[in-house]
Amino acid sequence: MACYELVGACSYPLVMNEFPSRGSLREFLRKLDCKNLPLEKIIYMALDIATSRCQI
> What digits encode the pLDDT tens for the residues 1-37?
566 676 777 777 766 667 778 787 778 778 877 778 8
**Residue, of 46 and 13, whose pLDDT is higher:** 46
Categorize the per-residue pLDDT at 56 as very low, low, confident or very high, splitting at 50, 70 and 90.
low
Q: Where are the domains of the chain?
A: 25-54
The pLDDT value recorded for residue 9 is 73
Three-state SS letters, 17-40: CCCCCCCCHHHHHHHCCHHHCCHH
